[in-house]
Amino acid sequence: MTQTPDSSSTRATALRGRLDEAPIERRALRDGVYDKLLELLLEGGVQPGQSLSIDGLARDLGVSPTPVREAMVQLEHTGLVTRAALKGYRVAPPLTRERMAELVDARSLLELAAVRGAIPLTDNGLLHLKAAHADHVVAAAEVKESQSQDDGTEWPALRRYYDADWAFHRTLFEHCHNSYLLQLAQSLSPQVHRMRQSAGHGVTDVDLAVAEHAAILRAATTGDVEATVEQMRSHLEGVRQRSLADSADA
């Protein structure tokens, strides 16, 4: 039976479609595993130095070892896990005081540049910054409430607080007219969480952080670039001092 060009082309197209689906599904699975493992690391589900078995994690997650191994390679790049030859992966140790100081220095370089690029904010940008601050205020109140109780709500509240805190800073990056600054800041985000974990306990500075964000917002509302830069610099210096004071090796 002679095949027509049209039927051959149709089958070829269908075959390409099936082949294209596999990498997409595999990537989605790897990303899902990565998100689960990242949550485990950020929420204190494992301890610094703890061994991470790829086969064990695969069983717990109900997947094959391949996406777990791929996710571990990604996590190694964030600094949250380390890999040693013949020993496998382990949870990274807490940040030292020196590394904390270096991290805040790096944040300062990026965030002050973002402020200079974002201010004066557009009306839409200012609206977003106000909304982000309002969310941060609510999340801070939830953290304080959860810390006064022993009902297992502290970690979820802390996660919402961390997300709201980052959303405030991210808003300035999103309006600074430089997408590379945002990408660099996002690459540091896991290390910022790691710095918080290195303190050995939950946040203790919610009131100060909210007040400092409020000062940044007030300066941004005036459109004064240097005033906003100064408030952001003051906030990051406060983060530095509090983190070093709270660090496990202080």
What is the residue-wise DSSP string for 144-165? HHHHT--SS-HHHHHHHHHHHH
pLDDT tens digits along 146-156: 877 766 567 78
Better pLDDT: 18 or 105? 105
Could you state, in order of their start, the residue ranges of all structural domains in the chain? 5-91, 97-246
Yes or no: say if 114 and 125 are a contact pair by the CB < 8 Å rule. no
Q: Which two tokens stand for residue 102?
A: 């270096």
Q: First-to-last CA distance in the chain? A: 81
31 CB-contact burial (10 Å; exposed 0-12 / middle 13-18 / buried 19+): middle
For residue 238, what are the CA distances in angstroms to 25, 64, 124, 148, 205?
Answer: 44, 45, 29, 24, 10
- CATH number listed for the domain at residues 5-91: 1.10.10.10
State yes or no: pLDDT of 248 exceeds 90. no
pLDDT of residue 111: 98
State yes or no: pLDDT of 200 exceeds 70. no
The reported pTM is 0.77
Nearest to 227 by CA among 212, 209, 215, 241: 215
Q: What is the rounded distance in angstroms from the CA atom of residue 235 to the CA atom of residue 107? A: 11
- What CATH topology corresponds to 97-246? Four Helix Bundle (Hemerythrin (Met), subunit A) (1.20.120)
Better pLDDT: 91 or 194? 91
User: 3-state class of 243 per DSSP?
Assistant: helix
Average pLDDT over every residue of 230-234: 98
**β-sheet bridge partners, residue 81:** 91
Say which residues have a Cβ less than 8 Å from residue 34's Cβ, sequence separation at least 6. Answer: 70, 71, 74, 75
